[in-house]
């Protein structure tokens, strides 16, 4: 069974938690998926009105943060 990773979207003050998660082979694959998600959100113009810098925090099934990806 592949590990499950959760991609929480954070805008400085607010967190949009990933309730379902993503099963993928490893942290690098989860990171690539997170970068794709950010690209899609950015292209849709949905990263406006933020209270702070946007980022995705990738966490494991226990809730531990494993990697942060800042939106540039």
The model's pTM? 0.85
Between 59 and 40, the higher pLDDT residue: 59
Q: Which residue has the higher pLDDT, 19 or 37?
A: 19
15 is written with which tokens? 């967190």
Cα dihedral sign for 68, 47, 11, 21?
Answer: negative
> For the chain, how many structural domains are there in total?
1
Separation between Cα atoms, residue 30 and residue 55, nearest integer Å: 14
With left for phi above 0 and alpha for psi between -120 and 50, is residue 31 left, alpha or beta?
alpha
Domain that holds residue 54: 4-70
Tokens read off for 28: 């690098």
Output the six-digit token pair for 37: 């998600």
């Amino acid at each position: 069974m592949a590990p499950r990773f959760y991609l929480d979207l954070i805008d400085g003050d607010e967190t949009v938690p990933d309730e379902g998660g993503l099963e993928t082979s490893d942290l690098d694959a989860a990171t690539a998926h997170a970068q794709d998600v950010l690209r899609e959100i950015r292209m849709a113009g949905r990263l406006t009105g933020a209270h702070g810098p946007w980022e995705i925090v990738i966490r494991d099934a226990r809730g531990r943060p494993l990697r942060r990806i800042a939106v540039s």
